Amino acid sequence: METQHKSQKTKKIIYWIFTLWMSLGMVSTAIVQLMKNKDELANFTNLGYPAYLMIIIGVWKILGVIAILVPKMPLLKEWAYAGFFFLMSGAVISHLIVGDSAGKTFPPVLLLILVIISWYFRPADRKISSQTIKNS
């Protein structure tokens, strides 16, 4: 019983470390995108994306972080995690397609890994269950 409690506590610590790290990464990159930073704009245009997409993605990142950090609403959290997964995997693929350096490809790879770890270690009260769906 004691080891199970320690295991749950360890998982919760891992969850919060990686979730806060992911959230910090998403919010900081969202701010850079919303401010239309010239380096970020150059990055987007190099990938072949229009500048206005930075604003859309920046807003989505902030809304996704809010959804993941606030209590309750497990279905919304699942959508946010899915959005982050598609966003960051798309960024990684985009960088690979245009032949960007590892230095430009690493940040979205790191955020993708953080998203996956945060999702995997999320506590039971932040997961969707059949009971959650019935109560909706």
Q: How many domains does the chain have?
A: 1
Rg, C-alpha atoms of the chain: 17
Q: What is the pLDDT along the chain (136 residues), one digit of tens a residue?
A: 677 778 889 999 999 999 999 999 999 999 999 999 999 999 999 999 999 999 999 999 999 999 999 998 999 999 999 999 999 999 999 999 999 999 999 999 999 999 999 999 999 888 887 555 555 5
Region of 123 (left: φ > 0; alpha: ψ -120 to 50; beta: rest) is beta
Taking CA 133 as the corner, what is the angle to CA 128 and CA 136, rounded to the nearest 5 degrees? 120
Supply the range of the domain harboring residue 48: 2-135
**Residue 136's pLDDT is what?**
52
